[in-house]
C-alpha cells in the first residue's frame, strides 16, 4: 500500500478544490473539498461538500473548476432518484 500524505495534498490543493471521486464499483462523482486533508494512519482524508463522512485522497483527482458541481448529491440519501441527481449535477 502506498502512503498518502495529507501535507502533500494540502500543498497542491486548497480547500474548495473541485475533485472527481472514483468509487470501487467503477462509478464516480464530482464535488468540492470542504476541508484540508488530515493524516489518518497511511491515509490522507478530506470531507466533501454534499457528502457524509471522510474520503481518501487516493480516490480523488482534481478537475477544472468549471467541471465540478458545487455539491454532488449524496448517493446514499433515501428518496433521491437519478433525475434529481442529474439536476443537481447540472447546476
Q: Kindly state the cell numbers that stand for 46.
A: 478530506
Question: Which one-letter DSSP state was computed for residue 1?
Answer: -
Place 2 in a pLDDT band, splitting at 50, 70 and 90. low
Place 53 in a pLDDT band, splitting at 50, 70 and 90. very high
Sheet of 28-32, strand order: 28-32, 18-22, 60-62
Would you say residue 60 has pLDDT above 70? yes
Share of the chain above pLDDT 70, in %: 69
Amino acid at each position: 500500500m502506498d502512503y498518502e500524505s495529507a501535507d502533500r495534498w494540502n500543498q497542491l490543493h486548497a480547500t474548495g478544490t473541485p475533485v472527481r471521486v472514483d468509487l470501487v464499483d467503477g462509478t464516480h462523482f464530482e464535488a468540492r473539498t470542504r476541508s484540508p486533508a488530515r493524516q489518518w494512519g497511511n491515509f490522507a482524508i478530506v470531507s466533501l461538500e454534499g457528502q457524509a463522512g471522510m474520503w481518501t485522497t487516493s480516490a480523488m483527482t482534481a478537475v477544472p473548476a468549471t467541471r465540478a458541481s458545487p455539491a454532488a448529491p449524496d448517493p446514499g440519501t433515501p428518496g433521491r432518484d437519478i433525475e434529481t441527481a442529474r439536476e443537481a449535477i447540472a447546476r
